Amino acid sequence: MIAELGKGLALTFRHLFKKPITVQYPEERVPMVPGYRGLHKLMRYEDGPYAGMERCIGCKLCQAACPVDCIYIESEENTPDHRVSPGERYASIYEINELRCIYCGMCEEACPVDAIVLGEDYEFCNYDRESMLYAKERLLVPPPEGRPAEREPRGATVPIGGRRVPSGGGRG
């Protein structure tokens, strides 16, 4: 009994003078491990002929792939006056119920244009259910600096899943 107590105290004293490994959250934050799946982001093209435009072409493949049915999308046609994505369509409504989401990454896997990604943000807990319903406005990343969010694309083709298909893609 006394020996065990001595062992315990020795262990405590050994660590008493070591540098602490405690992270002083929220002043300090540890970087997330590669592959961490946090809050979703809807991406835009960062450079190239479509820079600033939304990647999402409203194809709803992510919605179909979601095993818990927590994505809701409505799509509309792009027009010359209102071109949001390089494809035929864009997502006019894109919502994710982050409370129901199981962060499996299937939506990310299913997306042919890398539009929906699970980011590194883990600080989005809340006190009411409504706040966990993320509409497009909250998911969409801002356009790169100096790039408009909406315009007529200059290229004749749209990159989809590593292939290049004619503008419109047939997937929107």
| Binding-site ranges for ligand SF4 (CB under 6 A) | 56-62, 65-66, 68, 70-71, 73, 91, 96, 101-107, 110-111, 113, 115-116
**Minimal distance, residue 87 CB to ligand SF4, in Å:** 8
Nearer to ligand SF4, 51 or 65 (CB): 65
Q: How far is the CB of 72 from ligand SF4 (least distance, A)?
A: 10
CA distance 103 to 70: 11
Beta bridge partners of 118: 40
Question: Which lies closer to ligand SF4 via its Cβ, residue 53 or residue 59?
Answer: 59
CA distances from 147 to 2, 57, 104, 108, 144 (A): 71, 19, 32, 25, 6
**Distance of alpha carbon 93 from alpha carbon 167, whole angstroms:** 22
Distance CA 132, CA 101 (A): 10
CB of 47 to ligand SF4, least distance (A): 19
Q: Minimum distance between the CB of residue 109 and ligand SF4, rounded to whole angstroms? A: 8
